[in-house]
Amino acid sequence: MTYAVKGIVQGHVQGVGFRYHLKQAVESTQIVGHALNLPDRTVEVLLIGTPEEIASVQSAAQEGPRYARVDSINWEDVETHLIETLAIEGFRIG
């Protein structure tokens, strides 16, 4: 079953390896999506996969890498029919 969530990560999450931390967390999964720096110094995370794999990556996001500080993550479900129209392959960071 495909499931999708989008989260906005607030805190000290840019310039500290946060996006690379997430990329490592998804390497052993089938998750696709992205982790993107936003102009307001937050990071947008899109995860598409099974609920179990997504929960694992969400935990990694909450923990963050060593020099990050995650103050909050606002997760929301994304309707999967909207995701199916996108040609998303792999997990990209930007």
* Sheet of strand 43-49: strand arrangement: 69-77, 3-12, 43-49, 32-37, 91-93
Which residue out of 37, 41, 69, 74 is catalytically annotated?
37
Residue 45: count other Cβ atoms within 10 Å of its Cβ.
Answer: 25
- Residue 4 amino acid letter: A
Catalytic residue check, 19: yes
Residues 81 and 4: beta-carbon distance below 8 Å: no
Which residue out of 19, 69, 74, 92 is catalytically annotated?
19
Catalytic residue check, 74: no
- Residues β-bridged to residue 6: 46, 76
Q: Among all residues, which ones are annotated catalytic? A: 19, 37
